[in-house]
Structure 1
Amino acid sequence: MSANRFSGLNLVLLAVTICALLFGVYGFIRPSDSAATAARGNGKAAAPESASREGTSPDAEPTRPDPVFPTRDEPPVPGRDAAPKPVAGVTTTPPEAVVPTDKGDAQLSGLVLNHEGKAVQGVVVTARRSNLNADVPDVGSLQPAEARDALNRYFALLQRETRSTSSDSEGRFRFTGLDPRLAYDLSAQLDAVGRAELRRAAAGDNVRLILKPHTLLIGRVTGPDGAAISEFSVRLYRRNAEWEARERSFSAADGRFTMECDGGALMAALSAPGFYQPQPTEISVEGSAVEQVFTLEQAAILSGTVRDASGNPLANARISSGGDARSRSMDRRSAGNWEDESSSARTDSLGRYRLDSLAPREYTFSARYGESSDTRTITVSAGENTLDFTLDAGATLTLKLRNTRGQPVEAEQVYFWRKDGRWLQAERHLAREPGTATFSGIKPGDYTMSVSASGYPSLRREVKLTSGEQTLELELPESAMLGGRITSSSGGSIAGLSLRLVKEGEDENMAWGSGRWTQVKSDGSFRLGPVEPGLWTIDLLGQDWRKVSSEKRSLVIGENSFDFTVNTGGSLTVRITDETGKPAQWAYAMLESAQGKRFGANANAQGLAEITFIDPGDYILRVTASRLAAPAVSVNIRAGVNEAAVSLKTPNCARITTVTPNSQAARIGLAPGDLIIEYAGEKVNNWEDVGRLRRKYEGSAEVAITIERNGQLQSFNLKGGQIGIDGESAVR
Structure 2
Amino acid sequence: MKSPFLIRSGATWIAVLVTAVVWTAIVALLASIERQAVQGTRHDLANLARLFDEHVSRLVRSTDVAMVAMRRTLEGDAAGFRLEAWLAQNAGLIEDLPQIGVIDARGILVATSVGPLPARIDLSDREHFRVHAEAGGADRLFVSKPVLGRASGKYTIQLTRPYRDKDGRFQFDGLDSMLAYNLSVREAGIGTGYAYNVAAGDNSDIFISSSLIPVNGRLVCPSGSLPASFTIQGFDATAQYRYAMVTEQFSSKDGTFTIMVSKAGEWIFTATAQGFYQSEERSITVAETGGEVELPLTEGARLNGRVLSTGNNEPLPNINITLHWPAGIQDKDAQKSKASSRNASTSFGESSGEIMMSGFGGRYSTSSSSKTNGGQAAYASTDSLGRFSFDSLEPGTYTLRAVVGQKTIEEGITLGTGETKHDVFVDIGAILAITVTAQSNEPILQPRVSLSVLNDQGEPQSGIGVSQLDSAPGRLRYAGIEPGKYRVTVQAEGYAPAYQDVTLAAGDNPLAFTLEQGCFVRGIVTMSDGSAIPQQMYVRVTDPNAPPQGRNGSNQNIVGINGTEGRFNLGPLSPGVKTIEVVSYQYSRSDPNDPYRSRFKTTLTLVAGDNLCDMSVEPGCLLTITVFDEAGNVIRNAIDVRPLDMNTAAMYSGSCRGPGQPAVIEVLDAGRYSVTANGGGSNLLASTIEVYAHQGINDISVTLFAGNCVRITQVMDNSQAKAAGLQVGDLIVTYNGQNVTSINDLSTFRKQVPDNQPASVVVDRNGAILTFDIKGGYIGVNGESARR
TM-score (norm 2): 0.55
Structure 1 residue 613 and structure 2 residue 666: aligned?
Answer: yes
Q: CA deviation at 1:525?
A: 1.5
> Would you say the 8 A contact 1:498–1:520 is kept in 2?
no
Structure 1 residue 301 and structure 2 residue 302: aligned?
Answer: yes
Measured in 1, the distance between the counterparts of 2:269 and 2:556 equals 46
Structure 1 residue 632 and structure 2 residue 689: aligned?
Answer: yes
Structure 1 residue 458 and structure 2 residue 508: aligned?
Answer: no
- Say which of 407, 411, 418 aligns to 1:376: 411
> Would you say the 8 A contact 1:589–1:603 is kept in 2?
no
Cα 1:284–1:442 shift into 2, 3 Å = farther
Q: CA deviation at 1:471?
A: 1.1
Q: How do 1:310-459 residues align onto structure 2 when only pairs under 5 Å count?
A: 310=311, 311-322=313-324, 343-419=378-454, 421-431=461-471, 433-459=472-498
Measured in 1, the distance between the counterparts of 2:278 and 2:424 equals 28
Measured in 1, the distance between the counterparts of 2:207 and 2:503 equals 65
When structure 1 is superposed on structure 2, of 553-562 and 242-251 the one drifting more is 242-251
Q: Secondary structure at the match of 2:493?
A: coil
User: For residue 556 of structure 1, what is the amino acid of its counterpart?
Assistant: V
1:623 corresponds to which residue? 677
User: For residue 42 of structure 1, what is the amino acid of its counterpart?
Assistant: D
Q: How do 1:8-23 residues align onto structure 2 when only pairs under 5 Å count?
A: none
1:566 corresponds to which residue? 617
Q: How do 1:575-586 residues align onto structure 2 when only pairs under 5 Å count?
A: 575-578=626-629, 586=637
Q: CA deviation at 1:476?
A: 0.8
Cα 1:612–1:361 shift into 2, 3 Å = same
Q: How do 1:133-172 residues align onto structure 2 when only pairs under 5 Å count?
A: 169=196
User: For residue 59 of structure 1, what is the amino acid of its counterpart?
Assistant: S
Cα 1:168–1:42 shift into 2, 3 Å = same
> Would you say the 8 A contact 1:481–1:557 is kept in 2?
yes
Measured in 2, the distance between the counterparts of 1:344 and 1:242 equals 24
User: For residue 356 of structure 1, what is the amino acid of its counterpart?
Assistant: D
Measured in 1, the distance between the counterparts of 2:322 and 2:530 equals 58
Measured in 1, the distance between the counterparts of 2:659 and 2:421 equals 61
1:540 corresponds to which residue? 582
Structure 1 residue 599 and structure 2 residue 656: aligned?
Answer: no
Measured in 1, the distance between the counterparts of 2:371 and 2:462 equals 36
Structure 1 residue 525 and structure 2 residue 567: aligned?
Answer: yes
When structure 1 is superposed on structure 2, of 556-565 and 494-503 the one drifting more is 494-503
Measured in 2, the distance between the counterparts of 1:542 and 1:324 equals 51
2:144 corresponds to which residue? 59
| Superimposed CA distance per residue, residues 545-590 of structure 1 (whole angstroms, 9 cap, x where no aligned partner) | 7445353432111210001111232433333345566666545442
Superposition CA RMSD, Å: 5.8
When structure 1 is superposed on structure 2, of 256-265 and 486-495 the one drifting more is 256-265
Measured in 1, the distance between the counterparts of 2:287 and 2:526 equals 65
Instruction: Name structure 2 gaps, 5 residues minimum.
Output: 1-33, 61-96, 102-106, 110-120, 148-163, 186-192, 200-205, 337-368, 455-459, 587-594, 712-726, 733-783
Measured in 1, the distance between the counterparts of 2:168 and 2:626 equals 47
When structure 1 is superposed on structure 2, of 417-426 and 37-46 the one drifting more is 37-46
2:251 corresponds to which residue? 252
Q: Secondary structure at the match of 1:400?
A: strand
2:743 corresponds to which residue? none
When structure 1 is superposed on structure 2, of 617-626 and 20-29 the one drifting more is 20-29
User: For residue 666 of structure 2, what is the amino acid of its counterpart?
Assistant: F
Q: CA deviation at 1:302?
A: 2.1
- Say which of 110, 116, 122 aligns to 2:183: 122
When structure 1 is superposed on structure 2, of 393-402 and 349-358 the one drifting more is 349-358
Structure 1 residue 499 and structure 2 residue 579: aligned?
Answer: no
1:204 corresponds to which residue? none
> Would you say the 8 A contact 1:218–1:292 is kept in 2?
yes
> Would you say the 8 A contact 2:306–2:386 is kept in 1?
yes
Q: Secondary structure at the match of 1:363?
A: strand
2:704 corresponds to which residue? 647
User: For residue 573 of structure 1, what is the amino acid of its counterpart?
Assistant: T
Q: Secondary structure at the match of 1:343?
A: strand
When structure 1 is superposed on structure 2, of 580-589 and 229-238 the one drifting more is 580-589
> Would you say the 8 A contact 2:687–2:704 is kept in 1?
yes
| Superimposed CA distance per residue, residues 435-484 of structure 1 (whole angstroms, 9 cap, x where no aligned partner) | 11111122222222232223223333323221101211110101112111
Q: CA deviation at 1:122?
A: 2.8
Measured in 1, the distance between the counterparts of 2:701 and 2:381 equals 56
2:23 corresponds to which residue? none
Measured in 1, the distance between the counterparts of 2:332 and 2:281 equals 13
User: For residue 430 of structure 1, what is the amino acid of its counterpart?
Assistant: D
Q: CA deviation at 1:366?
A: 1.5
> Would you say the 8 A contact 1:300–1:385 is kept in 2?
yes
Q: CA deviation at 1:382?
A: 1.9
Cα 1:399–1:645 shift into 2, 3 Å = same
Q: How many residues align?
A: 536
Measured in 2, the distance between the counterparts of 1:82 and 1:477 equals 70
Q: Secondary structure at the match of 2:395?
A: coil
Q: CA deviation at 1:270?
A: 3.2
Measured in 2, the distance between the counterparts of 1:586 and 1:215 equals 44
User: For residue 467 of structure 2, what is the amino acid of its counterpart?
Assistant: E
Measured in 2, the distance between the counterparts of 1:683 and 1:391 equals 58
1:229 corresponds to which residue? 227
**Identity score, percent:** 21
Q: CA deviation at 1:411?
A: 3.0
Cα 1:602–1:308 shift into 2, 3 Å = same
> Would you say the 8 A contact 1:533–1:557 is kept in 2?
yes
Cα 1:600–1:294 shift into 2, 3 Å = same
1:265 corresponds to which residue? 266
Measured in 1, the distance between the counterparts of 2:608 and 2:728 equals 70
| Superimposed CA distance per residue, residues 300-322 of structure 1 (whole angstroms, 9 cap, x where no aligned partner) | 22223322113222223232234
Structure 1 residue 554 and structure 2 residue 605: aligned?
Answer: yes
When structure 1 is superposed on structure 2, of 246-255 and 79-88 the one drifting more is 79-88
When structure 1 is superposed on structure 2, of 516-525 and 553-562 the one drifting more is 516-525
Measured in 1, the distance between the counterparts of 2:381 and 2:302 equals 15
Structure 1 residue 42 and structure 2 residue 122: aligned?
Answer: yes
Q: CA deviation at 1:608?
A: 6.1
Measured in 2, the distance between the counterparts of 1:569 and 1:167 equals 63
> Would you say the 8 A contact 1:414–1:451 is kept in 2?
yes
Measured in 2, the distance between the counterparts of 1:266 and 1:336 equals 23
Cα 1:320–1:472 shift into 2, 3 Å = same
Measured in 2, the distance between the counterparts of 1:397 and 1:266 equals 55
Q: CA deviation at 1:427?
A: 1.4
| Superimposed CA distance per residue, residues 267-320 of structure 1 (whole angstroms, 9 cap, x where no aligned partner) | 334322211123333345567565644221121222233221132222232322
> Would you say the 8 A contact 2:309–2:315 is kept in 1?
yes
Instruction: Name structure 1 gaps, 5 residues minimum.
Output: 1-10, 63-76, 93-110, 112-119, 125-165, 173-189, 195-212, 655-680, 687-727
TM-score (norm 1): 0.58
Measured in 2, the distance between the counterparts of 1:256 and 1:91 equals 50
| Superimposed CA distance per residue, residues 13-57 of structure 1 (whole angstroms, 9 cap, x where no aligned partner) | x98xx9x99999989959999x99999653589459888859x98
Q: CA deviation at 1:414?
A: 1.7
